Amino acid sequence: MSSRTAIFESSIAYFLSPVGKLLEDDTITEVMVNGYDRVYIERRGKIEPTDCRFESHDALVSAINNIAQYVGRTISESKPILDARLPNGFRVHAIIPPTARTGAYLTIRKFTREVMTLDDMIDLGTLSESGREFLELCVKIRKNLVISGGTGTGKTCLLGALSRAIPEEERIVVIEDTSELRLIQKHCLYLEVQKSSEKGKGELSIRQLFITSLRMRPDRIIVGEVRSGEALDMVQSMLSGHAGSLTTVHANSARDALVRLETLSLMSDVELPVYVARAQVASAINLVVQITRFVEDGSRKVTRITEILGLDDENRYKLQDLYASHLRGKTPDGRLVAELEPTGIQPTFAREVFEHGLEEEVQYSEKLWTRP
């Protein structure tokens, strides 16, 4: 650790000491400061108030300014929003008045120190054994997967868990707005978005990083989240030989995810007719995995695994659900019980697992595959 980082680590810890115990609690995933005297947390998917508070509005703003100084930026009335990362990797988002109407707002997204696996997700009820095996096999046969869900549903966590199915010998490029993913494979290259300096220089967007990654001879490209015109570059790279890509997108259903990718593709600086963008998205994406957070108990569950079948005669997306989640009730302590089960429909690529020599890995999802 450099002396500069060590100094800022100490000073940030001092300024954030009113919420220090929350940042150290591994059961807490988000710390939300809604003004100096109102602090909330997210624990196990549920939001709870706390009795923590900063001494004053100025104390909270000083903490935010200290974080901004650490990342080499400023936050002011003319630039009231800050996105940054703490020395320990936690993601920070801050907004100050007058944009924040009732005081300064500070949100800290924590990352678990232990990388979650698909087996962990089975234990939590997020996935079923059959769904886990099916998704792992789809990664191995190089299907392009999009993980879709709302804010805080665990998209990045699921993406990281799915990435473990990528063969060790492949060269993987990971592109993120804020670095969160930690892959177990050794041959990984991590690229992170860079914000512009105070002089407006040095900015590198996800789109620029994506274009750069194509020149790095990747076997796989993982994009943490698609948010803008880079969607077009990603879709076109999937169509031109970079199969097996993984990414996430904010959407509430498989169809919405495709429409969002289509819309984001149109946000690029390439003049593209709508029907062309739609056709490319429909051809590039093989599967959408929908993950949902349930307010009742805070649990996160994969609710659909959907195959994309291209476009119909009226230029609309054709979809078929391969897996669907069915609620079975609640446990005595109020936790929802659901099972992600096959719908009885086989994917159009049902023979590929055997063509890739992976028949020995088929155990729980056998009904979805067809032996040659």
Whether pLDDT at 358 is above 60: yes
Return mean pLDDT, the chain.
92
Judged by phi (left if over 0) then psi (alpha if -120 to 50, else beta), residue 360 lies in alpha
- What average pLDDT does range 274-298 have in this prediction? 94
101 and 72 both lie in a single domain: yes
pLDDT given at position 361 = 95
Judged by phi (left if over 0) then psi (alpha if -120 to 50, else beta), residue 118 lies in alpha
Pairing outcome for strands 300-311 and 287-293: antiparallel
pLDDT given at position 114 = 66
Q: Where does the pLDDT of residue 177 fall: very low under 50, low under 70, confident under 90, or very high at 90 and above? A: confident
146 and 255 both lie in a single domain: yes
Whether pLDDT at 1 is above 80: no
pLDDT given at position 242 = 85
More confident residue, 283 or 298: 283
Whether pLDDT at 112 is above 80: no
Q: Where does the pLDDT of residue 332 fall: very low under 50, low under 70, confident under 90, or very high at 90 and above? A: confident
289 and 146 in contact (C-beta within 8 Å)? yes
Percentage above 90 pLDDT, the chain = 70
- What average pLDDT does range 63-86 have in this prediction? 91
pLDDT given at position 113 = 60
Q: Tell which residue, 178, 147, 143, 141, has the closest CA to residue 161.
A: 147
pLDDT given at position 297 = 87
Q: Where does the pLDDT of residue 207 fall: very low under 50, low under 70, confident under 90, or very high at 90 and above? A: confident
Question: The domain that contains 35 carries what CATH number?
Answer: 3.30.450.90
pLDDT given at position 2 = 60
17 and 85 both lie in a single domain: yes
255 and 323 both lie in a single domain: yes
Q: Where does the pLDDT of residue 127 fall: very low under 50, low under 70, confident under 90, or very high at 90 and above? A: very high
123 and 211 both lie in a single domain: yes
21 and 60 both lie in a single domain: yes
Boundary-marking domain end, from 72, 92, 109: 109
Question: The domain that contains 350 carries what CATH number?
Answer: 3.40.50.300
pLDDT in tens, 279-290: 999 999 999 999
240 lies in which domain range? 118-368
- What average pLDDT does range 84-96 have in this prediction? 90
47 and 146 both lie in a single domain: no
33 and 154 both lie in a single domain: no
pLDDT given at position 346 = 97
The total of structural domains in the chain comes to: 2
- What average pLDDT does range 123-127 have in this prediction? 93
pLDDT given at position 85 = 85
235 and 343 both lie in a single domain: yes
244 and 293 both lie in a single domain: yes
Whether pLDDT at 16 is above 60: yes
Tokens representing 294 are 């349930």
Boundary-marking domain end, from 109, 126, 147: 109
Q: Tell which residue, 69, 71, 104, 65, has the closest CA to residue 85.
A: 71
Half-sphere exposure of 20 (CA within 13 A, CB side): 11
Whether pLDDT at 298 is above 60: yes
173 and 238 both lie in a single domain: yes
Q: Residue 291 and residue 352: Cα distance in Å, rounded?
A: 25
63 and 148 both lie in a single domain: no
The residues, ordered by sequence, that sit 6+ positions from 305 with a Cβ below 8 Å of its Cβ are 131, 134, 135, 287, 288, 289, 290, 321, 322, 323, 340
Whether pLDDT at 293 is above 70: yes
- What average pLDDT does range 327-345 have in this prediction? 90
- What average pLDDT does range 337-345 have in this prediction? 95
Range from 68-77, 119-128, 192-201 that averages highest in pLDDT: 119-128
Whether pLDDT at 152 is above 80: yes
Boundary-marking domain end, from 109, 136, 160: 109
Whether pLDDT at 9 is above 80: yes
